[in-house]
Structure 1
Amino acid sequence: MDQPLLLHEIVSEIQKTPRKAISFRRYMELALYHPEWGYYHRMKPKIGKEGDFYTSPAVGEAFGWTLAKGISHMVQSFPEGSSWYLIEAGAGDGILATHMIQGLDRLGFRPRRLFIVETSSYYRAVQKQMLVDSPVSVYWVEEIRDLPNDLPCILVSNEFFDAFPVHRVISQENGIKEIFVTWDDQKKELVECLFSPSRTDLSDYFLEMDWNLPVGWSAEVPLDALNWLETLGQWLKNGYVITMDYGGTTEELSVPARKNGTLRCYHKHQLHQDFYSDPGTSDITCHVHFSALMKHGSKVGLNNLLYTTQARFLLRSGIWTLLVNPPPSDPFGQVARRNRAIRHLALEEGMGSAFQVLIQSKGIQHPVAGLMQEDCFGVGKQVSLSKNM
């Protein structure tokens, strides 16, 4: 029932515009974030077996516990004895926040408070249930500006930036054109059309990023995500920003395999590219442009400390210390399942290579020692996890 209502809302907005079309960015915003019928506001599971996709935290507690170990080293760069805040942006079902707090508590680095930046009423309800027994007080806000910054902060996001609405453009002989969405009354469906860019910074984006988009190629422009990051950088006084997501640098996103961009949909664990049928029922996402996050972060004082794969980050942070030999009497029990989850997270051919980690800091006199080195966080050597564990 919700889907026809959202489609009607989208078509109604299209018909009210002078050109009878809305930007793809606006379409994606409505499909994902309409307050009643958008994908992220629908009262249904999105993560895990009953949802549409898996995330690294959903694989097991090893991800959050290992991240907590990395965070504990960052906390040690704060003034001795100072309290600090942990913040998660877009905390999903609250599993990562739960596991981070568990890990930090075990390590003796409990934050003063946990803040969650969340706009979805559905996810807020799920998070509150998940964190009901948290040993740390939890607070929810909708905007970064609503957070206190009187203490050092560590802000974590996992698969957050990939969910921002994006503009889509295509390169033509006479320059960049923007992809819009209109209603075909004969076919009774949403279709794409092209217009001149709705804003000048769409063309400027490619000049700024030194990205020569060949004729016929299309790409996404994440202006909303960059605005959010710049707001974060302006708000943050002292602390770290940890961004974990799938994506790449300009060089990695401008290869022939990406000539049609990286936009895609997930529905019941099936990948598809039918962006316009049943709006609000599929997750719409695209690769994060990490070069842009680094460049725009620098504009607001964020120092780029580390950019690496999730696999390397987890290995450096000591995920291998969580491996335990399963008891002979229970070779397929909980211990074995955790070992398999660790392998999936940390092996380059698992989730480990598909996801990237960017760590930035601001106002930290001496950031984590050795952060840019192969053995940062005190891990003495690179560890190769056996596929047979």
Structure 2
Amino acid sequence: MGNLIDRLLEYGEPPWDFADYMQVALYDPDVGYYMQPKVKLGYKGDFYTSNHVHSVFAETLIHYFMTVIKKHHLSPYICEWGAGEGQFANHALSFLEKNYPDFYEETTYIILETSPYHRKIIEKNLQAHKSKVILFSSFAELTKAIVSFDGVVFSNELIDAFPVHRVKMTTNGLQEIKVNLEDNQLMEVNVRCENEDIINWLDIYGPKLPEGYCTEVNLALKDWMSKLRSWLNKGLLVTIDYGYKNEELVQPQRKEGSIRGYKNHTLVTNPLRYPGEMDLTTHVAWDAFNQLAEGLGFSTIYHGFQEQFLLKAGILTFLDASAHMTPFSDQFKKNQAIQSLLHPSGISAFFQVNVQSLALKMATHELLNNDLMK
């Protein structure tokens, strides 16, 4: 932990903003969790994503992206922000190559992935599609090469790992939860909140905290959204993540906020317990997300649980009624995966899909109809 503390000291003397701690613990080039050369995803890692259920997840989404691109005459560009090991991209491009070769030939798949370790794995995993993929390490690098963009911007479990500030409402007013150093141990400490950006955020976007309640403030989201809007001319922003609306953020069961750690598929409630050695996440504040986006000109056309989106986007068209006769076939496994993705208590129940359009005359019914997969 010594190197991590050295990095934190570069931000000044303690106590440190929790966002600074999270930035170092996750993204520091030397000690950050995401930058470490170790497996983080899947059975051998610390957490699963929907990509690990089956390729049908990516197949359903890429078909929807293709449908929108064709209907609205967008450039056949797809940008995935935070691609991990490239599993979604591989499934999506393999599906297009097999089923829609003409569209596949036209498509450019852009990946922005900050982790050097993951970029190496992406290059290996997408070797079969290397002529279709452009890989970038930062937004600055991306925008230098591609000045502006129209197409689809997609992320899956990206926003939940943005560094956040933490606050608590007390009898003495709003307190900021910071990270202190005591006897070479990281400890939480509450100080009076004097950060005007945090105070203004809560005034504008909420939630209105009852006394004794904590929440997270994702100032990094505003910066990310502004940068994205300056780059995107026209297209679709599809964001998949777990989160809550304001009224849900102030329910008694969320009194302590939503910051969590994950290590070896085990939830860790103390975010300071394994600094740099575990994933840190917080639930997306969807009201703030959509209010920010709409203030920049986006139109929110869909927000709902993942299983409902997959249903409306046509995942059932991938079913094969005859597959029950051959329980070891690939199609049988796909049928089982579809059932898992749609089950009320399955992985999709934990995620929401947020779809926003920019400079497109799109109505909600365009997304939610039964003709998408025809």
* Shared fold per TM-score greater than 0.5: yes
**In 1, Cα distance between equivalents of 2:325 and 2:296:** 56
How big is each residue's C-alpha offset from its partner over 1:314-333, in whole Å with a ceiling of 9 and x where there is no partner?
01111112222465674245
2:113 is matched with 118
Match of 2:47 among 33, 45, 53: 53
How big is each residue's C-alpha offset from its partner over 1:73-127, in whole Å with a ceiling of 9 and x where there is no partner?
2112323xx6321100000110111112223342353353111111111111111
Match of 1:132 among 110, 127, 133: 127
How big is each residue's C-alpha offset from its partner over 1:14-54, in whole Å with a ceiling of 9 and x where there is no partner?
7x42xx31111111111001101210000001100110000
2:169 is matched with 171
1:6 is matched with 3
1:21 is matched with 15
2:235 is matched with 239
Question: How far 1:334 moved relative to its partner?
Answer: 3.4
**In 1, Cα distance between equivalents of 2:110 and 2:48:** 23
1:251 partner SS: helix
Distance 1:151 1:38, change over 3 A: closer
**In 1, Cα distance between equivalents of 2:348 and 2:304:** 10
2:103 partner SS: coil
What is the number of residues matched between the two proteins?
A: 368
2:365 is matched with 370
1:384 is matched with none
**In 2, Cα distance between equivalents of 1:242 and 1:100:** 15
**In 1, Cα distance between equivalents of 2:370 and 2:299:** 17
Question: How far 1:207 moved relative to its partner?
Answer: 1.5
Is 2:59 aligned against 1:65? yes
TM-score by length of 1: 0.88
CA contact (8 A) 1:77 1:367 kept: no
1:283 is matched with 279
Question: How far 1:195 moved relative to its partner?
Answer: 1.8
How big is each residue's C-alpha offset from its partner over 1:164-222, in whole Å with a ceiling of 9 and x where there is no partner?
1100000112321111111111xx42101112335202112222124220111000001
Is 2:81 aligned against 1:89? yes
**In 2, Cα distance between equivalents of 1:90 and 1:161:** 9
Structure with the higher fraction of residues in helix conformation: 2
How big is each residue's C-alpha offset from its partner over 1:232-290, in whole Å with a ceiling of 9 and x where there is no partner?
11221011110001112112222111111111111011111122123111000011111
CA contact (8 A) 1:10 1:27 kept: no
1:159 is matched with 157
How big is each residue's C-alpha offset from its partner over 1:116-144, in whole Å with a ceiling of 9 and x where there is no partner?
11111111111111111117521122106
**In 2, Cα distance between equivalents of 1:277 and 1:378:** 46
2:56 partner SS: helix
| Runs (5+) with no aligned partner, structure 1 | 381-389
Question: How far 1:151 moved relative to its partner?
Answer: 5.3
Distance 1:377 1:280, change over 3 A: farther
Distance 1:207 1:12, change over 3 A: closer
CA contact (8 A) 2:314 2:370 kept: no
- 206-215 or 281-290, which deviates more: 206-215
**In 2, Cα distance between equivalents of 1:339 and 1:6:** 48
CA contact (8 A) 2:301 2:364 kept: no
- 116-125 or 148-157, which deviates more: 148-157
Is 2:261 aligned against 1:269? no
2:96 partner SS: helix
Is 2:308 aligned against 1:337? no
Distance 1:78 1:147, change over 3 A: farther
Distance 1:171 1:376, change over 3 A: farther
**In 2, Cα distance between equivalents of 1:138 and 1:378:** 25
TM-score by length of 2: 0.91
Distance 1:328 1:315, change over 3 A: closer
Letter in 1 for 2:107: R
2:210 is matched with 214
Distance 1:150 1:28, change over 3 A: closer
Letter in 1 for 2:41: I
Q: Percent identity?
A: 32
CA contact (8 A) 1:308 1:356 kept: yes
Match of 1:259 among 255, 260, 273: 255
**In 2, Cα distance between equivalents of 1:363 and 1:87:** 17
